[in-house]
Structure 1
Amino acid sequence: MLENILQSIRDTAKLIDGHLDYPTCPGIYAFMLKDNASLKEFGTQHQIIYVGIAKESLKKRDLGNHFKSSSTGSSTLRRSIGAILKEELSLIAFSRNGTNNKREILNYTFNDAGNNTLTKWMLKNLIIGYWKDGHSIPYSKLRSLEEDVIKILKPTLDLDARTKKYNVLANHLDNLRKVCREEALKDLKK
Structure 2
Amino acid sequence: MHFTQLLPANDCMTEISQIVRSIEQTSKPFPEITDYPNEPGIYAFSLLAGSNMNNFGKSNQIIYVGIAKDSLRARDLGNHFRTGRTGSSTLRRSIGAVLKSELKLTARSRNGTSDRRAINNYIFEPSGDERLTTWMIKNLKVGYWKDLNRMNYKLLRDFELKIIKHFSPILDLDARSKHLNPLATELDQLRSICRTEAEIKL
Which TM-score band (shorter chain)?
A: over 0.9
Offset, 1:165: 1.0
TM-score by length of 2: 0.92
Match of 2:6 in 1: none
Aligned residue-pair number: 188
Residue ranges of structure 1 left out of the alignment (5+ in a row): none
Overall identity of the aligned pairs, in %: 54
Amino acid at match of 2:77: L
Match of 2:101 in 1: 87
Q: Following the alignment from structure 2 to structure 1, what is the Cα–Cα distance between the partners of residues 177 and 89?
A: 18
Match of 1:148 in 2: 162
| Residue 26 (structure 2) aligned to one of 5, 12, 15 | 12
Match of 2:45 in 1: 31
Amino acid at match of 1:156: I
RMSD: 0.5
Amino acid at match of 2:76: D
Give the greater-gyration-radius structure (CA). Answer: 2
Match of 1:166 in 2: 180
Q: Which runs of 4+ in 1 moved over 3 A?
A: none
Q: Following the alignment from structure 1 to structure 2, what is the Cα–Cα distance between the partners of residues 56 and 101?
A: 28
String of CA shifts for 1:128-169, please: whole Å, max 9, x gaps: 000000111111100000000001111000101111111110
Offset, 1:17: 2.1
> What secondary structure sits across from 1:151 in the alignment?
helix
Q: Following the alignment from structure 1 to structure 2, what is the Cα–Cα distance between the partners of residues 163 and 69?
A: 28
String of CA shifts for 1:34-78, please: whole Å, max 9, x gaps: 010000100000001000000000000001100111000000000
String of CA shifts for 1:5-46, please: whole Å, max 9, x gaps: 000000001102212110000000000000100001000000
